[in-house]
Amino acid sequence: MKYMFARSALALALGSVFFVQTANAADPALKTEKDKQSYMVGMSFGKQLKEIKNDVDLAMVQRGLGDSFNGGATLLTEEEATAVSNEFRTMLQTKREAEKVKAGAENTKTGEDFLAKNKTAAGVKTTESGLQYQVMTEGKGAKPKANDQVKVHYVGTLLNGTKFDSSIDRGQPATFPLNGVIPGWTEALQLMPVGSKYKLFIPGKLAYGDAGQPAGGIGPNEVLVFEVELLEILN
């Protein structure tokens, strides 16, 4: 297969082996190693196609797969399939971009409303950039500079409370240069003496902006909330 979702058999096997769960190995349908390997290939394709499940008809996907797999006549020629693939890719890109713009506008409005209200909450301070923070514990150590490397513990959540990252859950503090993170962190950490713990409310423009961070579950222009403890300045 030459089209946009095709992968080599070796890539499928290597890329999907971790999706096969031990709990399913005893299923009566998986009688042989070939059964397991075949099911693994199907799982891999299914995982890829899940992202576009509203844009394709599963029955036709299965028919196209079967026709090509069996080497029989196909409903599209090679040239026609290539043209359809290009059109489909363009359609998906256009659709995703429209969804992203819509989500960005909605997140911007939600974020602005939240920050306007949060600005009046007890103990919340707002900087000139729009960053908001609340002192949970005030340390007595030095404050880092923008080019310093720091060690911190943190928990990051969305406004709806969804946790998207946590060094505490990983059981290991994070270390990084302050000038290598999102602008809201670079600004906020320079306000914190070592030993401090702050709650940060970071506007989308000081976080991941219009792009968001889809892999981390962060949409475009989303306000992020962090509890950050500055453990050490590493120089």
Round the average pLDDT of the chain to a whole number and report it: 88
Token duo for residue 77? 């020629």
Q: Which CATH number fits domain 123-234: 3.10.50.40, 3.40.190.10, 3.40.50.2300, 1.10.10.10?
A: 3.10.50.40
Token duo for residue 111? 């974020």
**Domain edges within the chain:** 9-75, 123-234
| From 202, 218, 226, 233, the catalytic residue | 226
| From 165, 202, 218, 233, the catalytic residue | 165
| From 154, 201, 202, 233, the catalytic residue | 154
165 is catalytic: yes
The position carrying tokens 């792009």 is: 211
Residues 113 and 104: their CA atoms lie apart, in Å, by 14
| From 45, 114, 164, 176, the catalytic residue | 164
What are the beta bridge partners of residue 124? 134
Indicate if the pLDDT at residue 19 is higher than 60: no
What are the beta bridge partners of residue 130? none
182 is catalytic: yes
pLDDT band for position 48 (cuts 50, 70, 90): confident
pTM for this entry: 0.72
Spatial neighbors of 27 by CB under 8 A, at least 6 apart, are: none
| From 133, 198, 201, 208, the catalytic residue | 208
pLDDT-wise least confident of 47-56, 76-85, 153-162, 181-190:
47-56
39 is catalytic: no
3 is catalytic: no
pLDDT at 26: 60
pLDDT at 13: 36
What are the beta bridge partners of residue 201? 132, 225
- Torsion, CA 213, CA 86, CA 69, CA 58, rounded to 10: 60
52 is catalytic: no
233 is catalytic: no
